[in-house]
A and B are shown apart, each in its own frame.
Chain A
Amino acid sequence: MEILARLVFGFYAALIVSGALMAVVERGLVRSLVGLIATMFGVAGLYMLMAAPFVAFMQILIYVGGVSILIFFSIMLTKARPTGDEAKGRPLRKRFNALVTALAAGVVLASVILKFPIPSLETPRQVSGQQLGEGLLGPYLLPFELISVVLFVAMAAAVALAWQQWGKSK
């Protein structure tokens, strides 16, 4: 890989690592969210580096422009406080359990990847928007239609779940 590509990869990887750690460690929920947003930007940058600009911009549009705002609204609506249950200490055993689980999953999969490396292409494949469109309307038409059904069901269900008559709240 060229020096520039390595530098850019290192920058985005650092962004992802720091964002993920911030999302997991920070007590305040909005700070956690900021860490998540940093991670999403890092992942979008890596998609750009893999010569997939369409997916990179969709990542920003959907995740940063949509899901993050949903999470922010839920933080506001549930009036989350940073001094609540989150801040109380938890038994060391719980932290140990969580760490061991995460490390087990990570280490096992990492050793599989490192032991049986799949030969990687030198330059990423380029796929034009037209090919994606032809794929969506051709062999992958069913997932395309199904995802619109799923999104519709999610919207309708969210409205139905949170519905409250005006002036009749408990």
Chain B
Amino acid sequence: MEATLLDPRMFRIVAAAMALAAFVGLNALVLVYLERKIAGHVQRRPGPFEVGPHGLLQPLADALKLIGKQLFRPAGADALLFWMAPVVSFIPVLPLFLPIPFDPDLVAMHVEPGLLLILAFTGINVLALCMAGWGSNNKWSLLGASRAVAQSVAYEIPLLMALLAVTFMHGSLNLSEIVEAQGAWPWQWNAFIQPVAFIVYFTCAVAETNRAPFDLPEAESELTAGFHTEYSGMGFGLFFLAEYANMIVVCAVATALFLGGWQGPFFSGWWWFLAKTYALLMVIIWFRWTYPRVRFDQLLNINWKWLLPLSMVNLMVTALVMKLF
């Protein structure tokens, strides 16, 4: 790839990166508002109502509060690790959005092994949890961090195998190609051709992003907020932002791989992509306020005894069907 500093391709990538950063920021604000409103209505109360009409400016108030809080770290905590952890949690989020096809020509970067990029950078979040847990010099944080790591590492395996089944079918790791191989109508989407893979992927994705009912590592009523106990202000804000951004990435990947991406029955375009991604995000938020939290041994049981064999059988059946028919 011959490239000089002032190549038009460089401008395109820089512009795309800035647009994606803005997208992530705006989405985080919208998601915070949606989460609290939906939580409120599910619990038969109005949710945020004071700040702005119907509480619309609540996320801005939250952001201002987080930015304004004093940053302090506990005595005895390793300064380097403590402050690196939120940064390491947030930085991999931006490369995650690069291969995602919002529109046929709205892809930040055409990466051949695009799916592999997403999987690789999703695994970095686990490191941030380790560093936060260890660097906090707090046994509850360490316990929360080790639970989070065990959970993340365990749920990566069925996730990889479910995605592998989709890759088998289309013979490519490139997200744009997989989107184009699906049709416009719902029955042509991968979710109908590979329902097991879709359900396994979605469940594992919810567990990977530490969302309820799998949110034991950051459980507010259990380990005093787990690995991010000792973080205040912007440190907590970065973890929080990274969690919402991971949610968006996971739903965007599910949309691209299983729900036909930007294709729709009429007027295909990026609005379909956003609509489908938001539908999945609402489902995730819905899960949080509907299901009770899963106990830790139950959580690992679900993975090793149900999701892993299910995804392996799905993979074998996919391979058999592809070879024989």
A: residues with CB less than 8 A from B are: 2-5, 28, 30-31, 34, 37, 51, 53-54, 57-58, 60-61, 64-66, 68-69, 72-73, 75-76, 123, 128-129
Contacts and interface: CB of A to CB of B under 8 A. Distances in A.
A60 B124 contact: yes
B121 A69 contact: no
A142 to B, nearest CB: 21
B197 to A, nearest CB: 20
B157 to A, nearest CB: 11
29 contacts: A3-B4, A30-B81, A30-B134, A30-B135, A31-B78, A31-B80, A37-B127, A51-B1, A53-B111, A54-B113, A57-B116, A57-B119, A58-B116, A58-B120, A60-B121, A60-B123, A60-B124, A64-B120, A64-B123, A65-B127, A68-B127, A69-B149, A72-B127, A72-B134, A72-B149, A73-B146, A76-B142, A76-B146, A129-B113
A60 B121 CA distance: 8
A128 B80 contact: no
Interface in B133-148: 134-135, 142, 146
Q: Which of B1, B4, B5, B173 has the most CB of A within 10 A?
A: B1
Contacts of A64: 120, 123-124, 127
Interface string B92-113: 0000000000000000000111
Interface in B281-308: none
Among A58, A64, A65, A66, which residue has the most Cβ atoms of chain B within 10 A? A65
Interface of B: 1-5, 78, 80-81, 84, 111-113, 116-117, 119-121, 123-124, 126-127, 130-131, 134-135, 142, 146, 149, 153, 156, 173
A31 B81 CA distance: 8
Contacts of A53: 111-113, 117
B83 to A, nearest CB: 12
B76 to A, nearest CB: 12
Given A30-B81, A31-B78, A61-B119, A129 B2 contact: no
Contacts of B173: 129
Nearest to B84: A34
A64 B153 CA distance: 12
A125 B134 CA distance: 42
Given A2-B3, A51-B1, A76-B142, A69 B126 contact: yes
Contacts of B142: 76
Contacts of A73: 146, 149
Nearest to B118: A57
A53 B118 CA distance: 13
Contact of A65 (B78, B84, B113, B120): B120
Given A61-B116, A64-B124, 15 more contacts: A2-B3, A4-B4, A30-B81, A31-B78, A57-B117, A57-B120, A60-B121, A65-B120, A65-B156, A66-B123, A69-B130, A69-B149, A72-B130, A129-B112, A129-B173
Contacts of B135: 30
Contacts of B156: 65
Given A31-B78, A129-B112, A4 B3 contact: yes
A28 B113 contact: no
A57 B81 CA distance: 25
Contacts of A75: 134
Given A57-B117, A65-B123, A28 B78 contact: yes
A34 B2 contact: no
A8 B4 CA distance: 12
Contacts of A72: 127, 130, 134, 149
Nearest to A29: B134
Nearest to A53: B113
B253 to A, nearest CB: 15
A26 B128 CA distance: 20
A164 B2 CA distance: 57
A5 B1 CA distance: 9
Contacts of A58: 116, 120
A98 to B, nearest CB: 25
Given A53-B111, A54-B113, A61-B116, A69 B153 contact: yes
Contacts of A123: 2
Contacts of B81: 30-31, 34
Nearest to A54: B113
Contacts of A4: 3-5
A93 to B, nearest CB: 32
A68 B3 CA distance: 33
A30 B133 CA distance: 11
